[in-house]
Amino acid sequence: MQAAAAAARARRLLALPAAYGIPGILSAPRLGCAAFAEGGVLPRFGGLPPSPSAPRHARSFSISSVRRFPVSPARHFVELVVTFCRPQIYLLNGRLRNQCAITHFSTEATDIDQPTEAVEEQYQKMLKSVEAQIMPPNAWLWSMISSCSNREGIKLLFLILQKLRVFRLSNLRINANFNDHLCMKVSEACARIGACDYGLKVLWKHNVYGITTTIGSAHFLLKHAKEKNDTKLMERIMEVLQRNSLPLQPGTADIVFSICYNTDRWDLLSKYATRFVKSGVKLRGTTFDIWMEFAAKVGDSQSIWKIKSEGQGFLLERKPENAAALIKLLHKHLPDQKKQFVKDELQKLVAEWPAEVIKRQKKDDRKGLEEALITDIPKMISSMAKYGLDISVDLDKLSPQLEAA
């Protein structure tokens, strides 16, 4: 209905005798849309006045050339607009954005973020360089990353990264991705702007952007989640890390534990603590402090003893030194009246636990596990002494109860 009405209005205006002499219509080969509107074909839409016209030139078209357009009034109208406007259109994220002043046609909000002039300029320079079969200098890409200040700039950044990746592969025969440091700066820019959906793409092991995935890139995104107390973003990041087999680090645990503590999510802390421990990550003292303090805060004594079970997990993984460090930190954070329980639990670890765990193993695996525990449990006790935790444990009960199993 609206298109038909607009086409009818255009036919009426073009049919007027004055239309043949309107310089705003038939003069100047590349007048902007605003000039075209000023000429009368595009009157006010939505109450908005037409924009000032662009400078006019002497060259003109004959009306006969205009009359050779298709007979359809609607198509006539559209092609006439295209003929005189000729806007520069670029493809961005699958959507066509018109740089010409065609706000008269649009009912959408006009406050959508646009890439800054510096980012747009750097993008165009690199694009022209690639089209000319010349690899642009690295300094241009670094400058573009630093200049990104909104989502539209990040979109252009990822678009040029993809084009550069294809150019490097097809023209220069370079199969390698961009270096780690540059890729971390891309992640930092995404976190700075809050475009974390793009930031997650930096963590994809297989991507079309030539980005090298590193855990350092994930830390920028996790720090952003920490600033916003955003546990959902944290969970998404940890899921992407797991899917792409990125190795966790002590610094990762520091940030994750802090987010869980600040948002009062003991369930998430327990979940990720188990994942970090099973991954063999050596947790820092500050990380253990958060873990223990949170356990005491929620008043969950079973959770504290769950940490003890992680020490048993270290023994099963043949990591007695890690088990000793964990027990020392557990002893440090327990109230004085409960420190005696550490000694009692250690004695159970020697006298009872090995037999129980061996019974659950297949017969073919029992002998190997028995030999490992006979070797590693004494190592754990001696490592505790090196860490300053001197607790006497009767190791004589270790071998007999293993034989009984």
* Residues in CB range of 21: below 8 A, 6 or more apart: none
pLDDT exceeding 70 applies to what percent of the chain? Answer: 66
* Residues in CB range of 125: below 8 A, 6 or more apart: 136, 140
Asked whether the beta carbons of 164 and 172 are under 8 A apart, the reply is no
pLDDT surpasses 70 at 29: no
Asked whether the beta carbons of 380 and 315 are under 8 A apart, the reply is yes
Average pLDDT of 142-148? 94
Q: Which of 269, 318, 275 is nearest to 298 (CA)?
A: 269
Q: Which of 193, 119, 124 is nearest to 153 (CA)?
A: 119
pLDDT surpasses 60 at 110: no
pLDDT digits (tens, 9 = 90+) for 349-389: 888 888 888 888 888 888 888 888 888 988 998 888 888 88
Distance set, CA 218 to CA 191, 205, 345, 405 (Å): 10, 12, 38, 46
pLDDT surpasses 50 at 183: yes
pLDDT surpasses 60 at 17: no
Average pLDDT of 338-348? 78
Asked whether the beta carbons of 352 and 344 are under 8 A apart, the reply is no
Amino acid at 376: D
pLDDT surpasses 60 at 104: no
Instruction: Establish how many alpha carbons lie within 13 A of residue 233's alpha carbon, considering only the half-sphere containing its beta carbon.
Output: 24
Dist. CA 127–CA 36, nearest whole Å: 31
Dihedral of alpha carbons 72, 73, 78, 80, sign: positive
Q: What is the pLDDT of residue 53?
A: 44
pLDDT band at 113; cut points 50, 70, 90: low
Amino acid at 344: D
Dihedral of alpha carbons 198, 201, 203, 207, sign: negative
How far from chain centre, in Å, is Cα 100?
33
Q: What is the pLDDT of residue 12?
A: 55
Average pLDDT of 69-93? 46
What is the pLDDT of the chain when averaged over all its residues?
75
pLDDT digits (tens, 9 = 90+) for 241-264: 999 999 999 999 999 999 999 999
Q: What is the pLDDT of residue 232?
A: 97
Cα-Cα-Cα-Cα torsion 246, 251, 255, 258, nearest 10 degrees, comes to: 130
Q: Which of 107, 65, 64, 100 is nearest to 82 (CA)?
A: 100
Q: What is the pTM of this model?
A: 0.57
What ranges do the domains of the chain cover?
2-98, 300-405
* Residues in CB range of 204: below 8 A, 6 or more apart: 211, 213, 240, 244
Q: What is the pLDDT of residue 235?
A: 97
Dist. CA 2–CA 13, nearest whole Å: 17
Among 101-110, 141-150, 191-200, 274-283, name the one with the lowest average pLDDT: 101-110
Q: What is the pLDDT of residue 37?
A: 40
pLDDT surpasses 80 at 114: yes
Distance set, CA 97 to CA 81, 86, 116, 173, 305 (Å): 16, 13, 15, 33, 59
Dist. CA 195–CA 110, nearest whole Å: 21
How far from chain centre, in Å, is Cα 173?
28
Average pLDDT of 190-211? 94
CA angle 79, 69, 77 (to 5 degrees): 35
Amino acid at 300: D
Among 148-157, 195-204, 323-332, name the one with the lowest average pLDDT: 323-332
pLDDT digits (tens, 9 = 90+) for 132-142: 999 999 999 99
User: Which residue did the predictor score with more confidence, 401 or 21?
Assistant: 401
Average pLDDT of 69-88? 48
pLDDT band at 9; cut points 50, 70, 90: low
Dist. CA 179–CA 165, nearest whole Å: 12
